[in-house]
Amino acid sequence: MVKVGIVGGTGYTGVELLRLLAQHPGVELTAITSRTEAGMPVAKMFPNLRGHVDIAFSEPSLDTLGACDVVFFATPHGVAMKQTPDLIERGVRVIDLGADFRLADAAAFEKWYGMPHSCLDVLAESVYGLPEVNRDAIRKARVIANPGCYPTAVQLGLLPLLKAGLVDPSRLVADAKSGVSGAGRKAEVHALFSEAAESFRAYGVAGHRHLPEISQGLARMTAHPVGLTFVPHLLPMIRGIHATLYATLTAPAGDLQKLYEETFAGEPFVDVMPAGSLPETRSVKGANVCRMAVYRPQEGDTVVVLSVIDNLVKGAAGQAIQNMNIMFGLPETAGLTQIALLP
């Protein structure tokens, strides 16, 4: 059994990790830390876990976490990079659901997150945990940077086009929408029910923290510089991301449906829908799946890709567990076979 610790178990990604790991046949939940809730039974805060998780929150302790095989950080940026060096020195593998190890360029991290990176050596060895792209490197990694939610939906959606060299990488557009849980479990005015309900708005138009992460990932898929216009929006729903992606063809398109199906053939968590389909966020709610469809409207030079995920599962906790499975030689689908919730 893989002994698992979670730092920051009181947020939405933390409780989603608990929900999924509690049903995982190959893990033992060893430690769940929270400075403010230490001593409180986890199931008291999250009643959905009653009968499934019977331990209490504990103070973050190197001795406690150092006894784990893997530690997930479901924390704000800046936390994981302070604690990771001591953990990997003790042989613990780390999966960070925050942003500390996502950007290879430390200067870019400081620009977008407002703090210098504190462990450049660990940053240099960390692996970006998008399994469909980096599966082999993930197997050997000590530190995984779990991708962000928008970056997961956008990168998977554009991957086949960029790998095939069919589109202009300098003219990519990602028009993406997210539910309010993407903002985390904290009190903020814009996420209040009376502020978000019955409304729809863009944010981060001038620059969003996920922009450099997406651009970095897309650039690794092609030998050319990447130009990306990324505009996120807030939808009045709890879970889900819908990314509508636009790319301009520079080569004969061929059969795009076949291209997408072949690219993701055998991928357990990417579903390329039949031609003419319209993926919905509710079709992935609670499931570790990216569901997509590809279009070429009017047979013109623009390709449109529709990509949907649950931001808390394939966009966070589920993908983190997928990475853990790969790292420890477990079946990649272990603990992640939940069917999406309908309605």
Helix (H, G, I), strand (E, B) or coil at 112: helix
- φ/ψ of residue 69, rounded to 5: -85, -35
236-266 core/surface letters (b: 16 or more CB in 10 A; e: else): ebebbbbbbbbbbbeeebeebbebbbebbee
Q: Are 178 and 311 in contact (CB under 8 A)?
A: yes
Residues in the chain: 343
Nearest-angstrom CA–CA distance, 175 and 193:
24
Residue 89 burial (10 A CB sphere; 0-12, 13-18, 19+)? exposed
Among the listed residues 68, 119, 149, 290, the single catalytic one is: 149
Nearest CA-CA partner of 57 in 3, 1, 6: 6
DSSP β-bridge partners for residue 308: 242, 291
Q: How many CB atoms lie within 10 A of CB 276?
A: 8
ω before 343 within 30° of 0 (cis)? yes
Nearest-angstrom CA–CA distance, 80 and 321:
17
The verdict on whether 68 is a catalytic residue reads no
By annotation, the residues acting in catalysis are 149
